[in-house]
Structure 1
Amino acid sequence: MDQNPFFGSKMIKIVKVPLQLEPFLDKFRDLFTKPSYGSFRDLCGALSVCDKSKTVSNLCDTMADCSKGKKSRSSYNWFFSDANWDENEVAQRKVDLFIDSLCLKENDKLLLIIDDTYNEKEGNQTDGVGKFYDHSKEAYIWGNNFVTSVVQSKGLFIPHKAKMYIKNDDENENFKTKMEIAFEEIIKPLVVPKSIDLYIVFDSWWFSSDLFSKCLKLGHNIVCQIKSDKKVGINRDMYFQVRDLANQIEDKFFIKTTVSVRGKKKTYYAFEKKVIIDKVGGVNPSEWTKS
């Protein structure tokens, strides 16, 4: 089917990479050897139409048997496990293209949002599988845990990097905490133009003075939640738990703020105050809200 790259009744199958993708994928060609670029191109094309879980097996099945240059599943497995390419270079190129496409200029914001997620499993053959407490379900689940990230600006976002967290045991010689993974594998390798303000964003679970300090040393800004039982100082001598400090603020001083988050409007009541966080120093929320 020359006109239509897809065919099949039970499963959509790809005969060739969609024409719309080819110019974009070509911008990554110099990061791979010729055989590896072929695998990269095939897998990206399959990702665009695969409606099942994105395993190598399912991606391979999504490619039609008559697909030009289709390789064996073992070849695509080899691409991920042993091929000579740098995931940081690929992720960086993707961010560079994102910045260029949005025409970001001096003092524009770029957000790097850090979180984690779970992928439930039934068996125990998958690397890194284990028992984890899923706070969204308030229960333990059996599966994999990934530190994830997206890059966002001007209301648009793209996936950035995801790294598997593997629990510390006798077999894991290179153990890293999730915070170490976030900084060393995701935050530190990312490079943005000096004229663009990069904000590292995460929720209260990730609050850590060590992570704060490392991000600040790189020249990045930080936006995060803090748990209500944490102490903050209004000066060098007076510290309060966040909940107690909030209870001292009269309702009339809160400002109603409505923001759009990925197409949905959300309303918050905000109050700004410069405070001191132990081992971090002064924190000024107005630096974010004014810019």
Structure 2
Amino acid sequence: MMPITDFLSCTRVFDEFESLSPAQRHHAKTYATGLVAASNKTVAGIAREVLPAQGKRALNKFLTEYDWDERQFNHERLEELQKHGETRWSKKGYIILDDTITEKAGDEVPGVGRFYDHAEGDTVWGQDLIYAFYADDKTAYPLTFRLYEQQDEDNQNHDTKYDLAREIITELENEVGVPADTYLFDSWFAHDSGLPERIESYDKDWIGPLRSNRKVTYAGEEIRVDALAERIDTTERDIEDDTYHIWTKKLPVSQLGDVKLAIAEKEAEEDEENPVKYLATNKIDAPTEHVIRSYGMRWRIETFFEDSKQDLGLGDCEMQTEEGASRHWHLLMAAYSLVRLDLESSALGTVRSKASSLRANLEHSLKEAVYNLLSWVRDNDDRGVDDLMEEIDHLFVHSTADANVQS
């Protein structure tokens, strides 16, 4: 990987963050720039590849020892996003709740345990992070997270996933003030979690799928929701270029009370798996097309998980303290969000694409890193070409050699 000679322009917003001291802002810029542009997303890799860094030890102390409030830092990030039209949230947006597993090799990192990973279809050794994510038609970014720790014989006091999800909702509603009207979650969070009640206590709506064995009351009889298929007639409808077979009705559902139940099966190719969805919502009067289209926004958080693991080092954190890991994840959320901003001060002086793809934004940032390297060469015009090329060659070789040693 090429040496990164300057901070990415999107990190300049850290200069306004009161949660950080001037010295800490320098480290935050180093780390966020490294998460976006460095080939190695570890502390050692970032300290090596981002030339303005003040060394691995200083960067590690910033994450594990220095006194700064990452929760305040996160709230300042969200406040910054509201200053820009392309990232400003609205009542028509959605808050998505979901968790993701990041695989780990060792057993010294906080919260590590054996979890079932739906993406892998198997149990893996890793960390389980519960995220809240904002999405609407123009933007998408993470809001906050909690690390889930399994209960064990030595400690029975850990919060459950449900506890953490309700805690997230309270933070978003009482402290952050996200205006989005609707929460989306998967069937795990819709089952005996207390989430619908917590959401409704803030006069908000929710949409979530039911497991196929969930009990509903139909024609005076309590039956499994998947047994309804034998008793109903669906209607064919086209929604956003897809064809669905739909049935909907207000029904009592176990643990949820009266909800709008929508059974939807999308027509698919023969080799494409597409199970029936049993969607429940407290939006009793909402059109069925709106419920199905709204729930389709959940894919945005899956994209965040995939992109962040591949391109921003979500799974690369090996911090052995909970505070260090938490700060890594907070800085990652900042990096993910800030590369989406159209900064007039961008080194390239161009308008950034508003595409939802993180990869498009990362390509812009990498071009900026190349521009900064060329500018560094230009600004050293008092040195001979051979001297400059020797130093650049040393930086490349040094970076590659260290990366090979770490791998």
Deviations 1:127-180 (A, max 9, x none): 222222223323221222222332111142112333322221245465111222
TM-score (structure 1 length as normaliser): 0.76
TM superposition shift of 1:204: 0.8
Residue segments in structure 2 that go unaligned for 5+ positions in a row: 261-282, 295-407
Helix, strand or coil at the partner of 2:143: strand
TM superposition shift of 1:107: 7.1
- Note closer, same or farther for the CA distance 1:97–1:222 as it changes in structure 2 (3 Å cut): farther
Q: Distance in 2 between matches of 1:76 and 1:104?
A: 29
Match of 1:91 in 2: 74
CA contact (8 A) 1:88 1:189 kept: no
Match for residue 151 of structure 2 among 149, 168, 181: 168
- AA aligned to 1:85 is W
Q: Distance in 1 between matches of 2:89 and 2:24?
A: 36
Match of 1:243 in 2: 226
Two-structure CA RMSD over aligned residues (Å): 3.1
Helix, strand or coil at the partner of 2:18: helix
CA contact (8 A) 1:233 1:239 kept: yes
Q: Distance in 1 between matches of 2:149 and 2:204?
A: 27
2:109 equivalent to 1:121: no
Match for residue 47 of structure 2 among 52, 60, 70: 60
Deviations 1:254-275 (A, max 9, x none): 43322xxxxxx76544333222
Deviations 1:49-88 (A, max 9, x none): 0233x33333223312xx1xx3333333333334433333
TM superposition shift of 1:102: 3.7
TM superposition shift of 1:105: 9.2
CA contact (8 A) 2:15 2:25 kept: no
How do 1:75-224 residues align onto structure 2 when only pairs under 5 Å count?
75-102=58-85, 108-172=91-155, 174-184=157-167, 186-191=168-173, 196-209=179-192, 210-224=194-208
Match of 2:315 in 1: none
- Note closer, same or farther for the CA distance 1:98–1:219 as it changes in structure 2 (3 Å cut): farther
TM superposition shift of 1:113: 1.3
Match for residue 25 of structure 1 among 1, 6, 14: 14
- Note closer, same or farther for the CA distance 1:256–1:36 as it changes in structure 2 (3 Å cut): same
Match of 2:26 in 1: 38
Match of 1:278 in 2: 254
Q: Distance in 1 between matches of 2:81 and 2:218?
A: 40
Q: Distance in 2 between matches of 1:267 and 1:61?
A: 52
- AA aligned to 1:199 is T
Q: Distance in 1 between matches of 2:142 and 2:103?
A: 20
TM superposition shift of 1:14: 2.3
Q: Distance in 2 between matches of 1:104 and 1:238?
A: 48
CA contact (8 A) 2:93 2:136 kept: yes
CA contact (8 A) 2:217 2:252 kept: yes
- Note closer, same or farther for the CA distance 1:255–1:127 as it changes in structure 2 (3 Å cut): same
Higher relative contact order (CA 8 A, sep 6+): 2
Find the structure with the greater CA-based Rg: 2
Q: Distance in 2 between matches of 1:38 and 1:224?
A: 42
Q: How many residues align?
A: 264
